[in-house]
């Protein structure tokens, strides 16, 4: 079974059908997960549609065109909430380039400041009076704080002063990031701050059950609600495979292309993948390429780790260039241990790639070991490296990739949008009830 550049319109249907027949018998774990997903969707869809629509203030220090999982996920969720009739006030830092994919009902922009070591990212100045006036004018039912930085902290204080319900999202384990920037002494203080912050809200949304367990383990006691992630299977699809791009990478019909997409930053442990790639070449020969998509503070160090022409740094990509890069590779590899979900894994799977990753968050939920990829115990670098070193031939990779893509065809953004909607209703309704 091969994925080619010419995919007919019936590919998704036939692939999904074959996948169900081969891998989803009624008693299988995968089929049960599919049934559970549908049951969740049906249950949320049957909620009282007569509920009044909400006025929601979204406060975030990251937003497209910044390229990261938090920004892109929140835009998908906001688009969905707006389509379902809710009004959105977006509070964010000013950006040099406008985002044209989402138009909030109201917007409040604050002064931006670049984040040290992350020149492509920024935080918002805590302009209390400006944001407080925006809340007063918009009169939100709930303030949802996406990031816990200066802007998020100020928004928490402003909302509480006006007696507005507050929910939050936990998306980035900053307490783990600090270990990779010679800031280990900040781990405990950051952890205490994050615990205090989320316990000060009425509810915190998390992207995975794993993250829910992590927050409980550090002392977060507020209500937690899992709001999952989805993927656009039209945007991320095997049909975007490009022979022209593969030629640009210098590959032939027998070359296997390993891919990483994400921040090029110490906490993503891309160096583990580069070392595993060189071990792969030592064991199986030189007809491999490793393509790294993304940018960040670790790029110079990683470039010095490997001056091989077989390791290709593409920089940050978006839009059609990104979808083509995903679909034109043969296997996706990921060594990060500091994710709350890992959206890129879901995008890679939808694009037709088997995945090599640790058995947690997105990979744990969406990769079937030995069928659509290979899972290693969290932190077991030796096992992850061994999985990369024993990659099968191209026909097997392509077959696994097609099965992987078929397995996530139902994982749209519809369920996460409805999960967030129900969480916001829960907070707003509980807050408005007389004590």
Over the stretch 103-147, which tens digit does the pLDDT of each residue have? 999 999 999 887 766 666 677 888 999 999 999 999 999 999 999
Q: What is the pLDDT of residue 13?
A: 42
Give the relative orientation of helices 150-161 and 128-138 as an angle to the nearest 10 degrees. 50
> Which of 34, 149, 59 lies closest to 109 in space, CA to CA?
59
Residue 97: band (very low, low, confident or very high) from pLDDT cuts 50, 70, 90: confident
**Non-local CB neighbours of 257 within 8 Å, separated by 6+ positions:** 246, 249, 251, 288, 289, 290, 291, 328, 329, 330, 331
Residues 420-429: what's their mean pLDDT? Answer: 96
Provide the pLDDT for residue 47. Answer: 58
Residue 102 has pLDDT above 80, yes or no: yes
CA atoms of 339 and 337, how far apart (whole Å): 6
pLDDT score recorded for residue 19:
40
- In terms of Cβ atoms closer than 10 Å to its own Cβ (0-12, 13-18, 19+), residue 97 is exposed
Contacts of 109 (CB under 8 A, 6+ apart): 92, 93, 94
Contacts of 286 (CB under 8 A, 6+ apart): 310
Tell me the three-class secondary structure of the chain, residue by residue: CCCCCCCCCCHHHHHHHHHHHHHCCCCCHHHHHHHHHHHHHHHHHCCCCCCCCCEEEEECCCCCCCCCHHHHHHHHHHHHHHHCCCEEEEEEECCCCCCCCCCCCEEEEECEEEECCEEEEEEECCCHHHHHHHHHHHCCCEEEECCCCHHHHHHHHHHHHCCCEEEEECCCCHHHHHHHHCCHHHHHHHHHHHHHHHHCCCEEEECCHHHHHHHHHCCCCCCEEECCCCCCCCCCCHHHCCHHHHHHCCCCCCCEEEEEECCCCHHHCHHHHHHHHHHHHHHHCCCEEEEEEECCCCHHHHHHHCCCCCEEEEECCCHHHHHHHHHHCCEEECCCCCCCCCHHHHHHHHCCCCEEEECCHHHHHHCCECCCEEEECCCCHHHHHHHHHCCCCHHHHHHHHHHHHHHCCCCCCHHHHHHHHHHHHHHHHHHHCCC
In terms of Cα–Cα distance, which of 327, 349, 322 is closest to 404?
349
Q: How confident is the model at residue 170 (pLDDT cuts 50, 70, 90)?
A: very high
Residue with tokens 């070449």: 281
More confident residue, 47 or 296: 296
Could you read off the pLDDT of 385-421 as tens digits, one per residue? 999 999 999 999 999 999 999 999 989 999 999 999 9
Pairing of strands 224-226, 288-293: unpaired
Handedness of CA 329, 366, 339, 122 (dihedral sign): positive
Within 10 Å of residue 188's Cβ, how many Cβ atoms? 12
Q: Which of the four pLDDT bands, split at 50, 70 and 90, describes residue 232?
A: very high
Residue pair 361/211 in contact by the 8 Å Cβ criterion: yes
β-pairing verdict for 87-93 and 55-59: parallel
Q: Pick the residue with more confidence: 404 or 39?
A: 404
pTM listed for this prediction: 0.84
CA angle (420 as vertex; 418, 425 as ends), nearest 5: 95
More confident position, 60 or 177? 60
Higher-confidence residue of 183 and 365: namely 365
pLDDT digits (tens, 9 = 90+) for 304-325: 887 789 999 999 999 999 999 9
Residue 341 pLDDT > 80, yes or no? yes
CA dist., res. 95 & res. 123, Å (int): 11
Which pLDDT does position 306 carry in this prediction? 78
Residue position matching structure tokens 């688009």: 79
CA pair distance 390, 383, nearest whole angstrom? 11
Which residues, 6+ apart, have CB-to-CB distance to 311 below 8 Å? 274, 277, 289, 290, 292
Say how many C-beta atoms besides its own lie within 10 A of residue 430's C-beta. Answer: 12
Lowest mean pLDDT among 126-130, 184-188, 298-302, 356-360: 184-188
- 177-212 pLDDT tens trace: 444 555 566 778 888 999 999 999 999 999 999 899
**pLDDT for residue 154:** 96
Give the up-direction half-sphere exposure of residue 114: CA atoms within 13 A in the CB hemisphere. Answer: 6
CA 280, distance to chain mean position in Å, is 28
Confidence of residue 26 (pLDDT cuts 50, 70, 90): very low
Res. 98: pLDDT tops 50: yes
């Amino acid at each position: 079974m091969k994925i080619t550049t010419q995919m007919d319109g019936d590919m998704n249907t036939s692939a999904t059908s074959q996948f169900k027949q081969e891998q989803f018998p009624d008693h299988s774990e995968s089929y049960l997960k599919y049934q559970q997903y549908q049951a969740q969707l049906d249950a949320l869809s049957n909620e009282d549609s007569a509920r009044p629509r909400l006025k929601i203030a979204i406060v975030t220090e990251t937003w497209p065109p910044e390229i990261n999982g938090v920004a892109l996920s929140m835009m998908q969720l906001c688009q969905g909430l707006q389509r379902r009739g809710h009004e959105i006030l977006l509070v964010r830092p000013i950006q040099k380039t406008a985002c044209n994919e989402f138009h909030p009902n109201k917007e409040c922009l604050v002064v931006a400041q670049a984040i040290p070591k992350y020149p492509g990212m920024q935080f918002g100045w805590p302009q209390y009076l400006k944001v407080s006036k925006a809340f007063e004018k918009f009169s939100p039912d709930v303030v949802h704080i996406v990031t816990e930085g200066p802007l998020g902290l100020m928004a928490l204080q402003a909302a509480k002063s006006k007696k507005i319900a507050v929910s939050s999202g936990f998306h980035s384990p900053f307490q783990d990031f600090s270990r990779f920037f010679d800031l280990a002494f900040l781990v405990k203080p950051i952890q205490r701050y994050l615990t205090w912050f989320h316990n000060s809200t009425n509810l915190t949304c998390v992207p995975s059950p794993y993250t829910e367990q992590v927050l409980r383990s550090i002392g977060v006691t507020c209500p937690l609600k899992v709001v999952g992630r989805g993927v656009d299977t039209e945007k991320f699809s095997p049909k975007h495979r490009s022979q022209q791009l593969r030629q640009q990478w210098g590959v032939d019909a027998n070359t296997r292309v390993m891919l990483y997409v994400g921040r090029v930053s110490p906490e993503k442990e891309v160096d583990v993948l580069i070392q595993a790639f060189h071990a792969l070449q030592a064991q199986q020969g030189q007809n491999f390429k490793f393509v790294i998509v993304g940018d960040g503070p670790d790029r110079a160090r990683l470039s010095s780790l490997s001056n091989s022409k077989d390791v290709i740094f593409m920089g940050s990509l978006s839009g059609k260039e990104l979808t083509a890069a995903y679909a034109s590779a043969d296997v996706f590899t990921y060594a990060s241990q500091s994710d709350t979900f890992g959206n890129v894994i879901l995008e890679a799977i939808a694009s037709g790639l088997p995945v090599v990753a640790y058995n947690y968050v997105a990979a744990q939920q969406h990769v079937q070991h030995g069928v659509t990829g290979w899972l290693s115990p969290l932190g077991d670098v030796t096992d992850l490296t061994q999985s990369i070193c024993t990659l099968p031939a191209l026909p097997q990779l392509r077959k696994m990739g097609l099965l992987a893509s078929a397995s996530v065809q139902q994982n749209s953004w519809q369920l996460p949008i409805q999960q967030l909607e129900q969480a916001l209703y829960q907070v707003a309704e509980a807050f408005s009830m007389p004590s």
